[in-house]
Structure 1
Amino acid sequence: MRQLVLMMGAPGAGKSTFIKEKGLEPYTLSPDTIRVMYQNPVLTKDGVTQITSANDKVVWEFLFRVLEERMKRGDFTIVDATHSTASAINQYKELCQKYRYRCAVVDFSKVPLDILLRQNLERPVYKRVPELQIMKIYERYQQLSVPGWVQVVQPADFDDFIRFKPLDFSKWRKIHHIGDIHGCYDALAEYLKDGLKEDELYIFLGDFLDRGPQNAEVMKLMLEIYNQPNVILIEGNHERYIWSYANGEEIGSKEFKERTLPDLKKAGISKKDLRLFYRRLRVLAYYTYHDKTVLVTHGGLSALPGNLMFISAEQIIDGAGTFDLDIDEIWDRNTGKQFYQIHGHRNLYRLPVSAAIRSFNLEGQVEHGGHLRVVTLTPDGFHPIEIKNNNYLKQEKHIPESLQENKLTVETLLEYMTNHKLIQEKQVAENIYSYNFSRKAFQKAAWDTVNVRARGLFINKKTKEIVNRSYNKFFNITERPETKLARLAETLQFPVSVYTKPNGYLGMLGYDSEAGQLVFSSKSELRGPFAEWFKELFYQTCNDETIKSMEEKLKEGFSFVFEVILPEKDPHIIKYDRDQLILLDVVYRTPAYNKLPFHEVKELGQTFHIPTKELVTTFDSWLDFYSWYKKITSDYSIEEEGYVIEDAKGFMTKLKLPYYLFWKQMRGVKEAMAHKHGRKIDHGRLYTPLHIQFYNWLKTQEMEDIKNASIIQLRDQFYREVGEFSCV
């Protein structure tokens, strides 16, 4: 944290040994280390090599540049030098004030001269200092008065000094922990409507301003209460903009400059007010309360370290790990049962206040119309509270009128498709054209509201009829911004249904009114091998009566979307024992994507004697869905491709399972070996024991066998010869 420690003592006093014995070298800056970086030890007139001070100007400039970078982050730092004058100590004062550091010196100045001289001789030759120089430094200490702004610590007291110990807060009747406020005063005022009670403690977890409509009101309240003895203010990441503005520095936030700052100025809140407020902020609160030990930070930590002093203020404020880390679950896994954590800042997965057994998450999206979150602690335990915020800034996305689902026509869609650079138009019959996104769109992930529709779309340009249609392109979880877990937590409408995802290829069955006939298609073709295979299997599967009934349904304006499974002709990753069609969905042949509800698809499947996709499960809340997702994505035992996930409004995403992903990757290894006509591949692909074992087994096989066999055949042979092997 924001603590600077200056070693103070003559050469030979044992400062560096002290640092080494206490394991503090990673936290230490040493001018001697930098001196030998600039120049090798030099030969003296006495015929020995010694570290030279000839470069001390640049050495100290470099040390102070590095020190300032560390102080920007709030890193605990030791400077191992003699610091034998008041001016040598005072050179750190400006930086300490700028970055709100406490400064202490560890006093080795009382080591007797004879010991200094003896210990100097025990050092490596190149580190020895001339005795006369040691004597001069020793004499300076006899006159030194350490500046009053610096705390003096004796070596024997050092361990106790740097140990960050919890305070005992058991005297308070109740402790209130109040989460991110983000300029949403009304919700805060609702919680504090009865005022602050003198026998209760109020800990605010930071991010007081920005994004909300009432920044000035929040800051006025903080300025009224920040000096009260029962108020603790924790520093959040948004408070750095307050400090930058109050000290005349560049403000790194457009939101603060364009919205928050005008609010504060209009309310007459001065830079001096903001400086006073900021100086009251703490990096954390660490306390005991009866039988509990509690760590309160803004960002949340992954564990309780051996000494909080050694964790940078920046990491405590921003949180350990990346922003998308489920820090609550990790805390529970890494800490003992008596330790609790309370934090705000991040909650991408919309976990409840009681996010884990011993970790509380007070980020409630208050600035987006969510909740101000609070957890109170009394002798009988923790109590989560949420206050709905109805006063927030709403943001609306604009969709061009011509692309709005309820106004989209075939003519408009054709115009967009024809002129779109990332859509391929292909004539596939006399008047029928197919529209599919280009390879470039796929490779560059260049998706928009137009080309996501160009997936198995076939239009009769003469009649302006969509004759066949599949799904709009939809994406894997985490593949696109809209399918990141954090976004799904915001946008999924419950209930959410999970369906099986068979491992074949899509076949679409539509109808062309002009020709009065069924339209079989796959990918962008009506006559390609995949479309022909689909057509062949369809007529093998369905009798005349079924076909007639399906045709009548198709004439109503639908396409049937099938999964086509052909284990011999088109093997994928998952093993099937026979050819089969699986009815996935019945889609309207309209420009706007729409389809029949699943229960009607199921009924049609039963009527036509065709199996349908299966409903695996349904979730009524995000938390249930997220818990399932975490479990299923680490389960290698499920030998399926994955699942299709659909919410109550029809939004679709998909999830590929670990077993499938592993063997798909190994199929790539197999194909790479065959393509290169050799056995060398990028070993970066091999990162588990099973990767390595399967690759080593492949190298024992004949190259022609590798080329001609599917990954399913190779996997079966591998298991027969080597035996089952866990992927984890």
Structure 2
Amino acid sequence: MAGIDIPHFTVDQARVQHVIEQLYQIKQDTPKELRSKDFVLEDEQVWTSWTMRESVYKKKQDTFPTMSRGLFTKQLPDGQYQIMVRGYDKFFNVLETKATQWPSIMEDTQGPYEVMAKENGCIIFIAALSDERVIVTSKHSIPAEKTDTKAHAGVGYNWVLKHLASVQLTEKDLAAWLYDKNITLVAELCDDEFEQHILPYVDKDRGLYLHGINYNTSELYTLPVSIVEQTAKEFGFHATDFTVFDTADQVKEFGHAMQQTGIYNGREVEGAVVRCKRHGMDFMFKIKNEQYLMYREYREFTNAMLEVKEGFVSIHEVKKEWKCKYEKTRFYIEWLRKRVEDHPEWFLEFKANKGIIHVRQEFENYWDSGCLGGRLV
């Protein structure tokens, strides 16, 4: 693994100890804001997963000890705590918080601005259990059986092995490197055979898209995207597209163009994630693709309206009017009611995250045909 140049980083153990002790105190004082769960792993290690209430990330980001979204820790025999898995700090969409207003971004952040495609799947963390074995987690959970094909982390682990085999490497090769560097790989699990989201991932596009490498520290220290790309190629993961800009103005212009088309480097994407510096620390924000958000609204309304019982599909009507953010969604709802009648088979597994993309594509084809208000052709 000598080809991957990972800068040396010394963990501030006193800081880690202080942060985790604070987490335990907050959990005791305000259990509705913070909870934890212990997982006993295959070698009898006990890792603790920390889950914060979503509102905390916005309301208490200046006072909470960490903003990490995805954090696993363990206690050593001497009482010291260690961070085993470290996700990103919770990051927000442009215009969603004070820090992500464009004037604040222009004034308070510094480049380079690394703009990476936001793949449409589930986040997966890959870390070292030892210098011979890796552990794969979802945001807050570790399956009892590491190869569990019904769990996100289990499917993620199976993909790790496939990706490594594609470049003639083993789990031990990856584990030794992760263990030595004390880092977490952050990837997106995109696999329509397991679970569909909004955008399609089939055939050779299925798998894990590596998009981040974080040191296992209390504060966020995430490595440059060029190193992430190099690591993806080294270990056989899918690389995630990125572009680097010098100024925030360039990022804003890029984001505006992407939001109009929904396209990043010729592909439909969920949006883009921007990495930069803010007050000298690593800072991230996202730019959501409006077309993706509209597609997601289709899915949300479909799930809310569908009833599937014993193989029979129907529409659950409510007295109040459906409130749509996008005008086009109203036409989708009209179309949906008709399709449930004449193509109920499309929706049998919709709530199990199957058929989502097919339904959306059928509607888009119908829309493009100009047949609104008529029958499906």
SS where residue 695 of structure 1 aligns? Answer: helix
**SS class of match (1:596):** coil
CA deviation after TM superposition for structure 1 residue 701, in Å:
2.0
Distance of 1:683 and 1:720 partners within structure 2: 23
Paired position in structure 2 for 1:348: none
In the alignment, the residues of structure 2 paired with residue 642 and residue 478 of structure 1 have an alpha-carbon distance, to the nearest angstrom, of 14
**Counterpart of 2:374?**
none
Alignment deviations for residues 437-480 of structure 1 (CA, whole Å, 9 cap, x no partner): 125536x7554453653422111113522222211211111122
Which residue of 1 is the match for residue 94 of structure 2? 477
Using a 3 Å threshold, how does the CA distance of structure 1 residues 606 and 439 change in structure 2: closer, same or farther? closer
Any conservation in 2 of the 1:698–1:706 contact (CA below 8 Å)? no
Q: Give the corresponding residue for 1:629.
A: 255
8 Å contact kept, 1:674–1:707: no
Q: For residues 719 and 633 of structure 1, what CA distance do their matches in structure 2 show? A: 18
Describe the SS at the equivalent of 1:479.
coil
Is 1:507 the counterpart of 2:124? The answer is yes
Give yes or no for the alignment of 1:450 onto 2:52.
no
Query: Structure 1: 5+ residue runs without aligned partners?
Result: 1-404
- 2:273 paired residue number: 644
Change (3 A) 1:693 1:621: same
1:488 to 89, 101, 105: 105
- Give yes or no for the alignment of 1:433 onto 2:48: yes
For 1:604 and 1:471, how far apart are their aligned partners in 2?
Answer: 18
Paired residues of 1:435 and 1:454 also in contact (CA < 8 A): no
Equivalent residue number for residue 523 of structure 1: 139
Cα distance change on mapping 1:696 and 1:530 into 2, 3 Å:
same
Question: So what's the TM-score if we normalise by structure 2?
Answer: 0.75
The one-letter code matched in structure 2 to 1:694 is Y
Following superposition, the deviation at residue 410 of structure 1 comes to 2.4
Q: Cα distance, 1:517 vs. partner?
A: 3.3
Counterpart-to-counterpart distance in 1, 2:83 and 2:56: 23
> Secondary structure of the residue that 2:169 maps to in structure 1?
helix
* Corresponding residue SS for 1:567: coil
Query: Deviations for 1:349-396, whole angstroms, at most 9, x for unmatched residues?
Result: xxxxxxxxxxxxxxxxxxxxxxxxxxxxxxxxxxxxxxxxxxxxxxxx
Question: In 2, distance between residues paired with 1:451 and 1:475?
Answer: 18
Task: Provide the residue aligned with 2:321 in structure 1.
Answer: 682
Give the corresponding residue for 2:221. Answer: 594
- The more displaced of 479-488 and 656-665 is 479-488
Q: Report the AA paired with residue 640 of structure 1.
A: V
Distance 1:564 1:635, change over 3 A: same
SS at match of 2:338: coil
Q: Find the counterpart in structure 1 of residue 212 from structure 2.
A: 585
2:304 — aligned with what?
672
Structure that is richer in strand per residue = 2
Give the equivalent residue in structure 2 for 1:140. none
The reply on whether 1:536 has 2:158 as its aligned counterpart is yes
Tell me the percent identity. 22
Q: In the alignment, which residue of structure 1 is the partner of 2:15?
A: 409
Which moved further from structure 2: 485-494 or 696-705? 696-705
2:178 corresponds to which of 538, 554, 573: 554
Change (3 A) 1:712 1:618: same
Q: CA 1:659/1:625 → structure 2, altered by over 3 Å: closer, same or farther?
A: same
* Contact 1:434 1:525 (8 Å CA) reproduced: yes
Q: Describe the SS at the equivalent of 1:702.
A: helix
Partner in structure 2 of residue 714 of structure 1: 359
Secondary structure of the equivalent of 1:542? helix
Contact 1:508–1:522, Cα closer than 8 Å, also in 2: yes
Counterparts of 1:605 and 1:438, CA distance in 2: 32
Matches of 2:163 and 2:236, distance apart in 1: 9
Cα deviation for residue 724 of structure 1 reads 6.0
- For the residues of structure 2 that align with 1:603 and 1:459, how far apart are their CA atoms? 28
Alignment-derived partner of residue 3 in structure 2? none
Structure 1 counterpart of 2:364, one-letter code: Y
Q: Relative to structure 1, is the Cα distance of residues 540 and 661 closer, same or farther in structure 2, using a 3 angstrom cutoff?
A: same
Counterparts of 1:445 and 1:672, CA distance in 2: 29
1:563 is aligned to 2:188: yes
Distance, in Å, in 2 between the alignment partners of 1:686 and 1:621 is 32
Match of 1:497 among 114, 120, 135: 114
- How far does residue 614 in structure 1 lie from its aligned partner after superposition? 1.6
Structure 2 partner of 1:175: none
Distance 1:548 1:517, change over 3 A: closer
In 2, the alpha carbon distance for the partners of 1:612 and 1:418 equals 37
Q: What amino acid is aligned across from residue 133 of structure 2 in structure 1? A: Q
Q: What letter corresponds to residue 231 of structure 2 in structure 1?
A: L
Aligned mates of 1:724, 1:480 — CA distance in 2: 40
Return the letter of the residue paired with 1:712: I
Go from structure 1 to structure 2 and tell me whether the alpha carbon gap of 1:707 and 1:483 turns closer, same or farther (over 3 Å shift). farther
TM-score when normalising by structure 1: 0.41
The aligned runs of 1:169-318 (5 Å cut-off) are none
Displacement of 1:612 in angstroms is 1.8
For the Cα contact (< 8 Å) 2:113–2:275, is it kept in 1? yes
Counterpart mapping for 1:110-149 below 5 A:
none
Q: Alpha carbon RMSD of aligned pairs, Å?
A: 2.7
Taking the aligned partners of 1:508 and 1:631, their CA distance within structure 2 comes to 31
Instruction: Identify if the C-alpha distance between structure 1 residues 509 and 625 changes in structure 2 by more than 3 Å, giving closer, same or farther.
Output: closer
State how far apart, in whole Å, the 2-side matches of 1:547 and 1:406 are: 29
Query: Residues 460 and 654 of structure 1: is their aligned pair in 2 closer, same or farther, counting only changes over 3 Å?
Result: same
CA distance in 2, matches of 1:698, 1:451: 46
Structure 1 distance, partners of 2:158, 2:92, is 30
Partner Cα distance (1:498, 1:724) in 2: 35
Query: Which of 70, 85, 91 is the equivalent residue of 1:468?
Result: 85
**Distance in 2 between the 1:699 and 1:595 partners?**
46
Any conservation in 2 of the 1:477–1:655 contact (CA below 8 Å)?
yes
- Are the aligned partners of 2:132 and 2:175 in contact in 1 as well (CA < 8 Å)? no
- Show the counterpart of 2:336: 698
1:627–1:722 distance in 2 versus 1, CA, 3 Å:
closer
Per-residue CA deviation, residues 54-96 of structure 1 (Å, 9 max, x unaligned), is: xxxxxxxxxxxxxxxxxxxxxxxxxxxxxxxxxxxxxxxxxxx
Aligned equivalents of 2:263, 2:369: Cα separation in 1: 11
Give CA-to-partner distance per residue, 1:180-215, whole Å, 9 cap, x none: xxxxxxxxxxxxxxxxxxxxxxxxxxxxxxxxxxxx
Q: Note the C-alpha offset of 1:625.
A: 2.9
Say if 1:484 and 1:552 are closer, same or farther in 2 by CA, change over 3 A: same
